[in-house]
Structure 1
């Protein structure tokens, strides 16, 4: 009878030992997971400082790569300005535009230019274009009527009037000819021009007529560099209007020049300000971010080309606040020295916590050492 009682007692105790063993294993596993989770938390903490993702690692602060890639841009100076004058007489009989230049140049005007032949001409190397310009065979007679050809030195804004006595035969849309194309070609010695400098500005102008009733406007502006690069100028849309007292959309202080080739990537795009770009590139702050209305706008969004946001607000958005289009990339139109400096974290993480926190951390290390786990 005594042996039977002892057997029953041992059986009950074995169940208790099993429960205790399971509890101990569970606690050990919990401590193990907690230890490594805390190790990761302590050594890799993601913060957001001024809208930017930061990583805190072993007491130092590192900035995380931006979610949206930044395009590396190159500032290229354009020595020419060209602007149509919005008057009631913008017709074939009287077309008015304003031109300024900081260099000596030739101006060639052609009426009724064949579209295909124009683009073939634009793709020629600069040396070949310059030779054709000197020989008077720039478009090789692929136009209906020639316009004036002027040779000028540097000058400020000058109003030029064009008139066409005989009408053009442009046909019905879609037309194969541009109404008028105006070349501004730089005149310099070959060794005086840097390969990246602008040597030509080609302006394609539409003129309203009875067949095509679209308003008179600039259809396209092409930029030619001495190295042969051909780009199409596109305006940037400023959220608070064009600075510098410019009223026309066709003449703005800052434009975007996108290379005209099929395999061009956005990284090849260049920024091309004119000589009157101080209102955009200064640090006076008249142009404010549309989101915070505090910092000056400094980033142009692509592909929509809206220039409306500062560096602080940029990383909080994935869509343009003006058109709600997706932001694929961006570039800076000015320095961002206005951003407050990022405060560095203390070298010793224990300086940020109280005594209770440090005591619990020490207790956790002691338990890990007691259980035999590696820290």
Structure 2
């Protein structure tokens, strides 16, 4: 009897050791099956600093954009040393238009004029009475036919401008490109492009550059053009041709001047005619610029408010900050179709896994339940 009791006691110790080993092996298998969750090979760890489980980040909203085509392009010659005596620029137009250069323009009066009804603004521009009495010098409006890129040199009619000391109340130069033929226009069609130019001088030594560009549409809407920045950091404005990136025509962001944070429309995506080609090193064989994160899918999303165009739809869902400047992503808009994305099942094999029959199916089911109970993300 004693020998039997000793044998049972020894067997109970063996059972205890086996139970501990089985539990240990089960824990190891669970960890191996959830490596992405535990951030061994992935980046989906859900724990916060206080030991609790963080909720999922709110979904970043997509801005509703509309495409607007503008027939004009305008840019300064960077290689030319512009002065008050002469400014060199390149202009192109797909429609008949009027060009007028106005020097020493009152900032306040310019913005008041831009908000005038389009018909009144157009008539004043064509007659040469635009901003009359609120500018130091005006050149007569020149009617021009459609043309490709042409180099123009604009000369100041007088020896110098009197702009005063900073902060100045006048813009050095404002160039109006106004569409002449406005028959049968769509309300969203662009009818004027207004270019505000700063010219370097001894008082204000900032480089000669375009301070702002405004679009006037046939429906009276006034928008301010904002540059989009490619993945390489090169700015691309509406006058630059990035068609070789696979993004289609040249793009820029036109934000309504009266836009508020609650505006559902969000702005316009501007396309224009040919221009310079942006350079980049992240390209695929199809000539598409690649996402800076995965360098596999073509980039397709512009981030707001920083306006960096640098990531694809696949990487977007994993980021809360712009990978270029690290600023928070508040919203975004698509600059091209995203048909290149694989099916959701292929992107997330843990969520859409083929269920195996029999015991394997039962193990997978319990593993998923345990993962959900512990608060991990599958």
Shared fold by TM > 0.5? Answer: yes
Moved more, 68-77 or 146-155: 146-155
Contact kept in structure 2, 1:96 and 1:160, CA below 8 Å? yes
Structure 1 residue 170: deviation in Å? 0.3
* Residue of structure 1 equivalent to 2:270: 272
Contact kept in structure 1, 2:62 and 2:332, CA below 8 Å? yes
* Mapped partners of 1:267, 1:65: distance in 2: 24
* Mapped partners of 2:60, 2:354: distance in 1: 35
Residues matched between the structures, number: 293
Of 355, 360, 364, 2:358 maps to 355
Query: SS of the counterpart of 1:290?
Result: coil
**Mapping for residues 313-352 of structure 1, pairs under 5 Å:** 313-343=315-345, 352=355
Contact kept in structure 2, 1:255 and 1:271, CA below 8 Å? yes
Moved more, 336-345 or 197-206: 336-345
Of 291, 295, 298, 1:289 maps to 291
1:166 equivalent to 2:159? Answer yes
Deviation readout 1:307-364 (Å, 9 max, x if unpaired): 000011000100000000000000000011111133499xxx9971332367899xxx
Higher CA-based Rg: 1
Deviation readout 1:124-162 (Å, 9 max, x if unpaired): 111111121233211132100112421011100011101
1:256 equivalent to 2:248? Answer no
Structure 1 residue 291: deviation in Å? 0.2
**Mapping for residues 178-257 of structure 1, pairs under 5 Å:** 178-190=171-183, 192-240=184-232, 242=234, 251-252=239-240, 253-257=250-254
Deviation readout 1:30-72 (Å, 9 max, x if unpaired): xxxxxxxxxxxxxxxxxxxxx99xxxxxxxxxxx998111111
* Mapped partners of 2:162, 2:275: distance in 1: 40
* Mapped partners of 2:256, 2:118: distance in 1: 16
Deviation readout 1:228-266 (Å, 9 max, x if unpaired): 1100001001013559xx8xx784332111110163636
Structure 1 residue 275: deviation in Å? 1.9
What's the Cα RMSD here?
A: 3.2
1:298 equivalent to 2:291? Answer no
Contact kept in structure 1, 2:73 and 2:238, CA below 8 Å? no
1:118 equivalent to 2:110? Answer yes
Deviation readout 1:274-329 (Å, 9 max, x if unpaired): 1238989x993431100001111100000000000001100010000000000000
Q: Which runs of 5 or more structure 2 residues have no equivalent in the other structure?
A: 1-42, 45-55, 241-249, 279-283, 365-378
Moved more, 160-169 or 192-201: 160-169
* Mapped partners of 1:131, 1:240: distance in 2: 43
Of 95, 108, 118, 2:100 maps to 108
Q: Which runs of 5 or more structure 1 residues have no equivalent in the other structure?
A: 1-50, 53-63, 362-375
* Mapped partners of 1:356, 1:259: distance in 2: 61
The ranges of structure 1 where at least 4 consecutive aligned residues each deviate by more than 4 angstroms after the TM superposition are: 277-280, 357-361
Query: SS of the counterpart of 1:110?
Result: strand
Structure 1 residue 223: deviation in Å? 0.6
Contact kept in structure 2, 1:84 and 1:250, CA below 8 Å? no
Query: SS of the counterpart of 1:221?
Result: strand
Higher helix share: 1
* Mapped partners of 2:220, 2:204: distance in 1: 34
1:308 equivalent to 2:310? Answer yes
Q: Give the 3 Å change call, closer, same or farther, for CA 273–342 of structure 1 in structure 2.
A: same
